[in-house]
Structure 1
Amino acid sequence: MHPEQTTNSWAFRFSRFVEHHGTVKLSLLFVLITLIFTIGGSYVIRVSFGSVPSLEDFLSAVILTMLSAPWILYFFSELVKQLELSRVHLKEVIEELESLREEDVLLNRELQNNIKQLNFEIEQRKDAQLEREKVFKELEIEIRDKSEQEIQARRLSTLLRSIIDASPDLIYFRNEEGKFAGCNRVAEELTGRTQDELLGLTPHEVYDEELANQVARSDNEVLEKNISVTEELWLLFPDGKRRYFEMRKVPFFDHEGERLGLLAFGRDMTERMKAEKAVEKASKDKTKFIATISHELRTPLNGIVGLSRMLRDTELTEEQFTWISTIYASAITLGNIFNDIIDLDKLERDKIALSYKTLSLETFTAELSSVIELLAADKGLQFVSNIIKPLPDFVQVDGTRLRQILWNMLFNAVKFTPKGQVSLSVSATVQDDNKTANVCFDIQDTGVGIPQADIDKIFAMYYQVDHPDHQSATGTGIGLAICKEMVDRMNGHIEVQSEVGKGTRFLINIPLQISEKPRVREELMVTGLNILLVEDIELNVMVAKALLEKLGQNVDVAMTGGDAIEKIRTTTYDLILLDIQLPDMTGFDVADTVIQEDLVMQTPIVALTANVIKKREEYLQNGMDDIIAKPVKKSRMITVLNELFGDQELLPTIEIAKKEPSSVNPLTKTMDLDFIVTLVDTIGHEMVIASLGVFKEKIPEYMETLHLSLTAKDKDDVCSQAHKIKGAASSIGLSRIQKIANQIQQGDHPTWWKNVHEWVDELDAAIAHDVDGFDDWIKTQNFAE
């Protein structure tokens, strides 16, 4: 049925009518109509049956109508309501259907368009599919190439990681926040943590506070200033070993130039430090060796020079005088060669110091010429000395160094001149200020000469001319090099002119200050002194004793340190001349002993030594009041005596009651024998030997750590190691090692840094000597008896 026909049916029309007039009105109307119909019906029925209608008939009809009408009305109302709802719903459905129909038409049209579009897109997709297949093939080839590259990259990455881990260097990476982002195997060993455990940690979470602050400070400098930084650190490994690293930190960027953090590379330089320390120790050992040689060679040499000089002043035949002069010149030559060796060592340690004093150039030249004349005469050469005036009377110069320079030049001239002559000319040009003069020393010879190719090389250390004419007279190769260094230090220069076969000329120009006051030889101001001469070489005793007695002094002699101490204990001396190198102890030991016993409160001690290695201040710091160098010169002796006693009235010598020398076991200086005996009684002989074995096993490790800590300037660790060594030594009675270690552990000592290196050297020497001595001694003892 068409929707319009449905809505125009009588039911829908009646429903609209009811809706229009209202349900209440129509309900009342319906009740009224029903009452009328009931009353009328009752009347018709009664009349039809021939009965007369009564009031009861009408009442019953009305009552029945009133009872049934509400229900009928309720049903009728609900029916109408539902009918109206159905109508409204139907209308909405119809409208919706109509809308759907129109929409369907539109969708159909759109579908047609979409189908056309789809067909078009299908064609395009077919073309695109062909293009994609082509691209996929190209991409597959590219992916395959990239895969091979990635595989290669992974291999390279693995190889790089293996190389980094195999590197002995410390390598790590920190991000912008200063946290660990990667490291190698050495860094893992250093921190005691794996790379995964280190990731995300800061230096303060890995290192101790002091090291963390230092690391963080340099890291911040790299990141803040965007620069590379190099620093040196002592790093502590988990096993307690310290290693010295040179760290290089650089900012790290990606390929786009964005900074990611910093890379750190650390090279373990501990072995280098040990090597440098070994070189330093070797240098010290060499210096000690030269000092020893200085004493051992100079001592007999001084005797030869002194006695030959004294013999020349006696009545001799011409032949004897020639012999003595040759001995004297030879001894002087040997002494100057040794001076070169000493100065070579000083140059290497940069300890050459010039000492300017007033000197007469004429007197100086005459003294030097007298010795060179002896050397020249010994070879049958003529020596000519010429002083060209005007010449300043006195100049300020280091006479010892100048003598050494001219001696080397003149000695070489004599050595390389087979015949003819050697000459020395001295001239001077006074400057405009009349305060300085350019002094020229002109040395010429008629010798073999120097090839032009070698002239620029002769001042090189250890260089020797490779020429047949020079083979007959070779030398050390250090004399000219030292001369050049000395002249340079005096602000002078050397010029060389030479021709092979005709000779050589050296022009030495040195600017010197003119001295206004001439040097006056001092006169001895005091005599009758009681002097103790402590010297172990009889030749030196003979020379020094003769010199002192000629100066009017009283001389007592001791040839050992022990003998000297006993003499000082029993006799009061006005002066002690103390040799440093004695057979039983050093002169410093003697001085320390008598000072500790308050035996020399008013007695000066003057070092008498051939050791020219040490400086004067070093002797003064060790209890000496002055120093006299060997060979002993009369002028120096007079100067020292005048300085010490020139303004004092001598006190009479006071004899002190002689003490009986006590018998002292020398082992008591190194060991506490009473303690060791008690220890043996307590734990047994074999246990003491076993304890000593443990000490010998552990002490190298202790000393290595102590040396490393000292090199790192870690005072706390040095003191800690010294305390450990002290405790170990005291536990077995090594008293000297204990005493030295106790000195080292006193880190609050005001001169600790000044003395600690010397103390450590003493400790090394004591360990090397005392441990083996204790071992030998303890094994020979029979404590059971």
Structure 2
Amino acid sequence: MSIFNLKTWVHYYVSLLKRLGAFRFSLQLAFAIIFADSVLQVSLAYYFHDPLDIIDVSRSFFLGLLITPWAVYFLTVVVGDLEEARQRLDNTVAHLQEILAKDQQKTRELESEIIERQKSQMLLEEHTILLHSFLNTSPDLFFHRDLKGAFVSCNKAMELVTGRSESELIGLTPFDIFPKKYAQEVVTRDQKAQQTEQEQIHEHWLHYPNGRQAYFEVRALPLYNAQKECVGIIGFGRDITERKKHQESLEKASRDKTTFISTISHELRTPLNGIVGLSRMLLDEPLTFEQTKHLKTIHMSAVTLGNIFNDIVDLDKLDRRRLNLVSNHIDMFDFMSDLESLAFIQTEQKKLTLSFEQQGVLPNYIEADDTRLRQVLWNLITNAVKFTDQGEVKIRCFCERGDANQTLLCFEVQDSGIGIPADQLEKIFAMYYQVKGNRHATGTGIGLAVSKQIVDAMGGKITVSSEEGKGSLFKLCLPVDCPNKTVNKLAEQIRLPALSVLLVEDIELNVLVAKALLEKLGHRIDVAVNAEQALQKVADHQYQLILMDIQLPDMDGYQITRLLRERHKQLPPIVALTANAFSDKASFIKKGMDDALGKPLTVDSFNTMIKHFFTKQSSSEKVTAIKANCAKNKLQTTLFDDAMLLELLDFLPTSVMLENIALFSKLMPDYMQILESNMVAKDKKGIVSEAHKIKGAAGSVGLKRIQQLAQKMQSPELPAWWDNIDDWVELIKSHYESDVIELKRWVVKQGR
């Protein structure tokens, strides 16, 4: 308490000194000391009863004067030190307060920054989650690979394609996931993207784990960090299978259109052949000059129109790379005789001189496609005659030695016509090109283009040289094989019987052409032009073969066939005649026919059919045909393997059979989806593999038709396999569900 009082007094005196100043404080202090000492002296004298002496009072006065300066000095020094200390302390406090304020400001700023960072971090996390969700829900592939090619991240679509999760993919390279060839292509493209700093785009078929294929457009781009350094590759892949399917559908539509054109051309060729044949026959009759002139015009117009149809069909086949070249054994003597006759017919029309030369020794026989060779030479001779108004046409044939010691069969067709301008020589083989300003150029402009493509497909070469106003020279050279031994064609042929044939056909021209062809082959032909005549003639005569046109005026061929089978227990083979292109004869057999032939009839197709039904070599096939003719079992024989199914029903209950059929129905959509993806991808190996599965599944439940179609699909060695594969797939798609329904009914019926 005393210490507190002391401090209080000290603070009081210091405060008083500062308030009064040193001089005034000194006076007051001196007065206080003198007064205090005087009071003390008086008090002591009074207490001790001593007399108060003036000297004592003077001593107090002098003591006050002596003590006061030192006390004031001491207090002044103390006060100055204290003031200085106080000021330093105030400065320190102010500085500390300033520092504290700054710290508080920085703390507030730091807290604000932390809050902002937390907000940014949360926003970044939300954006990351959103981006990841977006990538995962996207049907497009996304992947990120580092500079070593190892996967860093990917989305769900990539996981589905590879069959691995993102965690499983991290660290793997393309070589761990894709086939070696494609993996190498991926690595090469990644390196190119890094080097060129440009996007790399490619399209590729990717396989899902279940075997389905999808066509992807994949984009690979270099990935850069903040320092603009490449740190990896990011890629995106878009499924463009539907676009690919659309392209395929367009191509198929083009093929269908071409099939239609081809069918129409064949249909028109039948009456044209009649016009050509009959006009040629009439030219041998005695006619007036005007009649002969008009008839020759008719004859050549029909021939020219037929060749235009041939060019159109071949043009489409060449465009789709589906032109079939056949190597035939050609007798050169017969071939050259036919060529000379052909050239004579044309040059005779315009009164031109024909010069036909064989230079050197020609081989007796060659191996080549005689039909295509005749077609090319026909175009060259036709053009030579067309562009020559007067003068001559020269045809020369000779052999040369080509590269690798090949034998080249060469033809030169030279005319003395209008010629071709030098600046247009390189253009005449272009599609639809016609020499400008040429009044003779009235054709389609595709004959030479088709001819050149045919020659190229046969491995040959066709060239032209010309001088305007003096004519042109076309040279054709083909590499051919020259067999040493003569093939005896007669010995190869199977002796075919002469048959009694009923031809059911209502078009007179078709009757005339078909009857002439069949009678030339030695057959006896009777004709019915409608259903009534056909039914009556079969009732009155014993025929060995019936050729049945499908389109007739009173009823179609299927209806007539059903009536015949209802009225007669024994019938000869009934073969459908149709102008429609078809890929599978099963549809005709299902409707009651034994076989089907296209119109116009050809010797090869007709003889093949005769061998099938009337020779020993086809006895097993005849048994099949007889079974097919049985109306009672026709459906089962066509659709089901009823013998196998009956054996199974002896061992298995009906419920198990139906369960197996239901399992087949469940599996087929997946099989067909994978098969269609392989079709779009043109993956022959995948098609064969999936067709094998379908064949096995169909065979296990006894679906004979589906099994047979799948058997064809899994046999790429079959002739024209790729040309027919689309039709087989469509047949399976259109029939398997209905076949399953029929099979279930049959199994239930048998189970009763």
- What TM-score bracket applies, with the shorter chain setting the length? 0.5 to 0.7
> For the residues of structure 2 that align with 1:427 and 1:421, how far apart are their CA atoms?
20
Matched, 1:308 2:268: no
CA contact (8 A) 1:228 1:251 kept: no
Matches within 5 A, 1:313-392: 314=285, 316=287, 320-388=291-359, 390-392=361-363
Aligned to 1:490: 458
Question: Given the alignment of the two structures, is residue 548 of structure 1 paired with residue 521 of structure 2, yes or no?
Answer: no
Provide the C-alpha distance between the structure 1 equivalents of 2:418 and 2:706, rounded to a whole number of angstroms.
64
Once the two structures are superposed, the pairs formed by residues 394-409 of structure 1 within 5 Å of their partners are 394-409=365-380
**Aligned twin of 2:177:** 217
Q: What is the CA deviation profile of residues 206-257 of structure 1, one whole-angstrom value per residue up to 9, with x for unaligned ones? A: xxxxxx9999723999999993688533679xxxx99643456799897999
Structure 1 residues 308, 286: CA separation in 2 closer, same or farther (over 3 Å shift)?
same
Post-superposition Cα deviations, 1:419-462, rounded to whole Å, max 9, x if no partner, equal 332222223458999x98543212111222122222223223x1
Structure 1 match to 2:387: 416
- Give the whole-Å Cα distance in 2 for the aligned partners of 1:613 and 1:560: 24
Letter in 2 for 1:227: V
Does the 8 A contact of 2:545 with 2:573 survive in 1? yes
Q: Secondary structure at the match of 1:456?
A: helix
Q: 1:526 to 1:178 in 2, by over 3 A?
A: closer
Distance 1:618 1:352 in 2: 27
- How far, CA to CA, are the matches of 1:748 and 1:456 in structure 2? 48
Note the alpha carbon deviations across 1:31-59, whole angstroms, 9 max, x for none: xxxxxxxxxxxxxxxxxxxxxxxxxxxxx
1:425 and 2:396 matched: yes
How much does 1:475 deviate? 2.4
Instruction: Work out the CA distance in 1 between the residues paired with 2:357 and 2:454.
Output: 23
Question: CA offsets per residue over residues 615-658 of structure 1, 9 Å max, x none?
Answer: 9999999998897874756x99789879986889xxxxxxxxxx
> Structure 1 residue aligned with 2:436, among 467, 476, 485?
467
CA distance in 1, matches of 2:502, 2:143: 69
Does the C-alpha gap of structure 1 residues 289 and 563 become closer, same or farther in structure 2, counting only changes over 3 Å?
farther
Asked whether the equivalents of residues 581 and 598 of structure 2 are also in contact (C-alpha less than 8 Å), the reply is no
1:612 CA displacement: 9.2
Q: Distance in 1 between matches of 2:452 and 2:586?
A: 28
2: CA distance between counterparts of 1:254 and 1:219? 31
Query: Is the counterpart of residue 449 in structure 1 residue 408 in structure 2?
Result: no
**CA 1:314–1:490 in structure 2 vs 1: closer, same or farther (change >3 Å)?**
same
Match of 2:730 among 750, 758, 761: 761
Q: Aligned equivalents of 1:306 and 1:479: distance in 2?
A: 23
Report matched runs for 1:675-694 at 5 Å. none
Q: How big is each residue's C-alpha offset from its partner over 1:525-575, in whole Å with a ceiling of 9 and x where there is no partner?
A: 667511233545320112222443455532234568999899889976434
Indicate how the Cα distance of structure 1 residues 323 and 709 shifts in structure 2: closer, same or farther if over 3 A, else same.
same
Q: How has the CA–CA distance of structure 1 residues 637 and 759 changed in structure 2, closer, same or farther, with 3 Å as cutoff? A: closer
Q: 2:229, 2:153 → 1: CA distance?
A: 18
Superposed, 1:200-211 pairs within 5 Å as 201-202=167-168
- Is this contact kept in 1: 2:150–2:173, CA < 8 A? no
Cα distance change of structure 1 residues 325 and 283 upon mapping to structure 2, 3 Å threshold = same
Tell me if the contact between 1:228 and 1:249 (Cα under 8 Å) persists in the aligned partners.
Answer: no
What are the residue-to-residue correspondences of 1:6-85 with 2, within 5 Å?
none
Alignment of 1:512-661 (within 5 A): 512-514=480-482, 528-549=498-519, 552-557=522-527, 573-577=543-547, 603=573, 630=600, 632=602
Query: Which whole-Å CA distance do the structure 2 matches of 1:375 and 1:175 have between them?
Result: 74
CA contact (8 A) 1:373 1:383 kept: yes
> Highest CA radius of gyration, 1 or 2?
1
> Is the contact made by 1:391 and 1:427 (CA closer than 8 Å) also made in structure 2?
yes
State the SS of the aligned residue for 1:468.
Answer: coil
Q: Give me the whole-angstrom Cα distance separating, in 2, the residues matched to 1:761 and 1:502.
A: 57
Question: Offset at 1:270?
Answer: 2.3
Aligned residue type for 2:411:
F
1:272 maps to which residue?
243
Contact 2:224 2:231 (8 Å CA) reproduced: yes
Aligned length: 528
| TM-score computed with the length of structure 2 as normaliser | 0.52
Letter in 2 for 1:445: D
* Structure 1 counterpart SS, 2:187: coil
Deviation at 1:415, TM superposition (A): 1.7
Distance 1:347 1:249 in 2: 37
Between the aligned partners of 1:334 and 1:504, the Cα distance in structure 2 is 24
- 8 A Cα contact 2:504 2:530, kept in partner: yes
What is the distance in 1 between the residues matched to 2:402 and 2:675?
58
CA distance in structure 2 between the partners assigned to 1:276 and 1:547 by the alignment: 43
> Aligned equivalents of 1:509 and 1:376: distance in 2?
23
Letter in structure 2 aligned against 1:498: S
The more displaced of 373-382 and 493-502 is 373-382
Counterpart check, 1:232 vs 2:192: no
Cα 1:608–1:715 change in 2 (3 A) is closer
Q: Separation in 2 of the partners of 1:763 and 1:643?
A: 26
Q: CA offsets, 1:97-151, max 9 Å, x none?
A: xxxxxxxxxxxxxxxxxxxxxxxxxxxxxxxxxxxxxxxxxxxxxxxxxx9xxx9
Which runs of 5 or more residues in structure 2 are unaligned? 1-115, 190-201, 618-630, 632-670, 695-702, 716-723, 737-752
Distance 1:590 1:746 in 2: 28
The reply on whether 1:281 has 2:274 as its aligned counterpart is no
CA distance in structure 2 between the aligned counterparts of 1:759 and 1:487, rounded to whole angstroms: 32
Shift, 1:338, TM fit: 1.4
Is the aligned partner of 1:293 residue 2:270?
Answer: no
How far apart, CA to CA, are the structure 2 residues paired with 1:179 and 1:619? Answer: 59
Contact 1:525 1:642 in 2 (8 A): no
- The CA deviation at 1:342 is 1.6
Alignment-mate amino acid for residue 483 of structure 1 = S
Paired residues of 2:145 and 2:234 also in contact (CA < 8 A): yes
Aligned to 1:510: 478
The structural deviation recorded for 1:360 is 4.0
Checking the alignment, whether the CA contact within 8 Å between 1:490 and 1:510 is kept in structure 2 is yes
CA distance in 1, matches of 2:551, 2:714: 27
The separation in 2 between residues aligned to 1:719 and 1:362, in whole angstroms, is 49
1:407 Cα deviation from its structure 2 partner? 0.6
Distance across 2 between alignment mates of 1:265 and 1:766: 40
Ranges in structure 1 where 5+ consecutive residues have no aligned partner: 1-146, 192-197, 205-211, 649-661, 663-701, 722-741, 768-785
- Look up the SS of the partner of 1:365 in the other structure: helix
Matched to 1:555, the amino acid is I
Instruction: Give 2:501's aligned amino acid.
Output: I
Gap change, CA 1:647 and 1:304, over 3 Å in 2: farther
Alpha-carbon distance in structure 2 between the residues aligned to 1:349 and 1:562: 45
Flag the 1:571–1:383 CA change in 2: closer, same or farther, 3 A: same
Task: Provide the rounded CA distance (Å) in 2 between the counterparts of 1:203 and 1:249.
Answer: 18
Change (3 A) 1:710 1:499: closer
> What amino acid sits opposite 1:540 in the alignment?
N
CA offsets, 1:637-690, max 9 Å, x none? 789879986889xxxxxxxxxxxxx9xxxxxxxxxxxxxxxxxxxxxxxxxxxx
Indicate whether 1:500 and 2:468 are aligned.
yes
Supply the AA of the counterpart residue of 1:499: E
d(CA) in 2 for partners of 1:176, 1:255 = 16
Q: What is the rounded CA distance, in whole Å, between the counterparts of 1:715 and 1:425 in structure 2?
A: 49
SS in 2 for 1:171: strand
